Structure 1
């Protein structure tokens, strides 16, 4: 029923259960007052509202409470109920209900959820005896000045009226108001001024409201408040240049009757004061920038201590809001827009090195932004704590690094992951060999980086073995005198790295490289890889190989070729005698599979994706007797599978998607289904 469904939707609603015997007794006592055809009907619940009320009852004037639970087909459906006290409209209606509602002068309770109904706000102002008013109406844009004449109004719910623009000046006259819900009225203005004088207010919901400047001053006199909801509001209350949440929240928590405060979904720096301990309920769900919680809070479900902090200029040109981090010590901390720091003193004041709980730290400057303090000087003051395990730095524009980053063994002994991104002026790296626990290194968009000196590293020193090295867009970088030991390498748009190696590197298992015009046969990086198992070549203009590279490819188990020119492809396949997995992706000019592929007798998985000109699969494909998986996607020119598909006795899985509809038809033809019957798992679809 509509009453039930409404209250079930309300998280703050109090629910009561009536015993069946009490319910039956009430019905027996009041039976005559519920009988629509009887002369004493007082309470009516209508689900068929296709006709005016007088067509359903003999005494519409005696009705005191009326609930409509379906569509209203008449604009004067209830106008004859002149003495009605309670009206609940949970309906769909396209009529103008202004006249009908405006005539109900004795109305005390009005709940109106009317879909697209047209209601002139002036009719609401005519209902001067209302105690309860709820309007859920998309079209409501204004409230009449006459709303101030509702001297007895105690409950006002306008939640969801997102087109409402302004609260009238007369709002302050509704001095008996106890409950005010403006949640979802994001554009309404005049709220702080409207609250002036509402000294009896106990329940205030402003969730999602945006025009709230001045609210901290307005709330001081609302001493009867018990519940306040400021979900997703705080960034609209305060000037972004300086945080005032601690004193503001303290002001709310110390109101003499405050019990419940909801600050959920506020992605804004929060300092929760000790006075919050007076509350019976504090909701911080979805708050991701909690700088400090009181000691009495052990764990709060759904909230997250500060992880990402954006620096802003302060109220004056001499400060920023970095001071807020003085009390923050999360496990992960990202500080962005460091260019807004105004002095070295304020950076020093946060004592970053003393925050021993920080295990992951990200420091970011904005590319091209003006600085008040030099990057190197500022970074000197931001010494990380020694337990740090993951460190990222981006947008740093100085050429050299501070002392703590050049003596990493003292300051970063536990570092596992280091990322250096968009450092346009850096020419050389810190001595990474001093990091005994380093497992992953990422170098990204460092156009000036020329050298990674590895002379302090021994090839045989297993202490310095990395798991992953990522090098992206470092076109000048050369690694001298040898490559460091690493299990996996990712190299993109960094030609000089591919040309760097001159000594054997026995412990590289996986290499992903590309974004280069350097032919494959010139990749010195490949010349001495004695244990390479997985190779991915992405966007390489020439795949011709040399005898030196051939030696590195004999042990290769997996090969993926993305967006490469097909020049040299056939020669390459002739060397891959141990290959188990092959992927060919986005080869737009490839018209047929290289003949040398028939030598891949150990191949177990073949994937062909994005080869629109590949006309057919060759008959000799059946010679790949070890093949277990065949995937074909976005290869629109293939219309049939080869007859030799029957020879794939080990084929266990066949997937075809987003290909020519003729191929789909071929696979589903009766005679061809028999050819595919031995395949355990098949998935053949026209779309991906």
Structure 2
């Protein structure tokens, strides 16, 4: 085998490589991907001086590389993706001077990169996606063209040297949950074409971002702390797509100069409620581009030929009026590669004439409306169907780019399609499907489901009782359905319980859904589960089980309770919320042992019964800096002891209530 140049062992059950691997002096290609039983690499492998390509992806048992790994001087491509147990890299890695591509994605336990990384002068592609424990980067190097840092949940800042990456074309920083700022010199990345900052914690963009003159794609969606977009964005004349949906909690300023972006074709601005602007031209352009939508209704009023092949946003309505499948097939949606967003509804706004022929079932119509693979947003609503079309039952194959999906008002449908394998699904809305009673593991569609899903809205599901969140079992590990949720919103689902656990999410909102908290709370069993920071409960009856579930959220920092019954039954266990900083209670009874939350800094009590015990508990909150108690009918305090307490409370409460 001394003349062997390529060796492929991918997926084999091999537990060790031969110790004399170094004798394969002419070996150039070695594929060990999926060798999950492989524990160590022999030191002799490091003497393969002609090796150019090494694939060790999914070698999940490898914990470290040989110390002389850097002796592979000819190596140009190294794939270590999904080496889940890999905790560190050897210092000698910096000696791989010919390395062009390095993939370390899904190395969950890798918490640091050695300083020798700065020596990889010829590296062009670096993928660190889903390195959940990575806290900082070493100094970077000038020839890098692609840098993927998505889902580096603990990465807090970028090195200043990033502005020296003069050849960088692609930068992905999505879901860097602790990244709050970008370097002021960020605008020096003059060759940057693709920038994704979605779902990061960035609060402001540097003004120099408007100097990225070669930028073609920019995604700042779901940056909920982002309110300011300084600079003149009219300089971004090559920008073709801008996604600013759901930023700044819906309040943001329109980018100045947006009307001058002559190449802008797609502007996504979902979830923006209030916005401000400086120039009238900008707001006119913004409204025109963000709200434009072509429409087609099966009413005889228009023809498929009326639609431009360049349309990127389309609404197809009146499925319930189709009399002939030929007119549906004529649309040929699957050929419309420019189509970015599609809404399909069973009803519409067309007038049409009286129907003289028998109607085609909406399931058959929907089967013929297969969208193109390029589709990123899909809304299906108001259709009379009992099953989904074949292209939705295998949706990951047909729509691999889908990021936003809404299934609404499907009132005759009793099941959900398997959505868990959609690789880019970011936002999911399920509402008004009264025939659904249970969601089981089939919803996941396979192993490692919903790896990119950040936001779920479950709304108006009156008969939904069970949602199974344990997806699959691998060895001793249980994979849960939603590993990286940011926002979970549950509205008007009175019977819903999650089994075995309520999914972890950064933000949880519950409205008129009494059983949800009784589901129990999922522990941090995996590295990538984010702690729950914010919970808002509205119009619920809190049972003892629900309160136990709530107190299990030990990472909770903000808790809001409105129009709820049962909060006053929360006893001593409330002091388990050791991280709670802000508590807002409205139209509900106040817990008797409020004084046990010693970490509390902000307390708001509005339109709640306030008595002597309430004020006494408030005075035990030694960390409190912001207090507001507003009651339309405050309890009268009469005796001297209580009067003294009121005086102390008046000193503590620096501001009077203005309501």
TM-score by length of 1: 0.42
The structure number with the bigger radius of gyration is 1
Higher relative contact order (CA 8 A, sep 6+): 2
Higher helix share: 1
